[in-house]
Structure 1
């Protein structure tokens, strides 16, 4: 899982980074004091928790750059429900932040390390549980089929049908539905389209051959091809 910290105070930035790693040392932490850099990171990497300072430019009257960044993230489908923790010295940001941006919580400066750690644990657990529970539903021959997202290895388009390859070896074949529709309805960040005819679950990636444009996946002997226009997206999502 990945955490992005956007904070203009370098000392606080370093403290927050250490606190994140103290909660879970295998987390990937991305730190920056620049909004432009934060945009770039969020586009190239799948972020699981945002920690955002509301005021990034103290010398600018009425600055709420961190809040504006959060608004931009919420407009993206992939980050509609990603936990956001605001870092602030404002007296009462709760009403606006929680109501309009669905913030997970906020940290008031000066903060106690234990407060940050507890909030982070809750946010990371929330994200993990949401991914575990994510479901898709498909109708075939009048029957509704529930599919758990984290058990899908990959989906491919074959002769106007979508074939969903599952972890247990089952293959569910459903009438044609665009991958865009499927991914929007699933709202599952682990799904990445790697070609016009295939969507993979990045949790099952075993190896990527960028030269020959193939991906091998755990749980299947099939090598999935990467389309030329999709390579950059796949590599960006994985942070390679």
Structure 2
């Protein structure tokens, strides 16, 4: 399987690599981004590990194409900060608009070029949603009325069966967030979009594994890998 490395904004202080894996068989395109917020390190590590898994054939595409941007905001990641301004409020809100930051513009232009059917945005958040319905830790988020709702419910059900500590189980949140990469990809590109939020209070290795598990299940649901 061919995996090629490219760079967003090469030659600038925002330069960051991304990877494109191409199966020998035609099929849908999925896109995974992480590190829009530089302090959400579990999701970044999960995306980086997924790239390594592609390189060793531990993760192999059955059909289609997979685009991974492991660390979108490397400057914020180096400082372990969310980022100023919040990059996830700078994406275009409707067709014809331009993004408000060079990184969000470059990322969205890349998404526009590959036209993913599925777009997963990996994040981390405070709290555990099983214990507090107002927090986002351990949730999958998509826009109300999204075509990804049924798949998200299915993935949550499958993941939760594997979780022994029920306080760590995932929940679904339906929430449109204008300016975010997820809502931009849904509104403008028509992609099925989901934000994956693991809970910061969990051990780092546990968060990384949850992220990888959720992504792999979505890739199976999208038809890129064998379920």
Settle same-fold status: TM greater than 0.5. Answer: no
Higher Rg:
1
The TM-score by the shorter chain falls in which range? 0.3 to 0.5
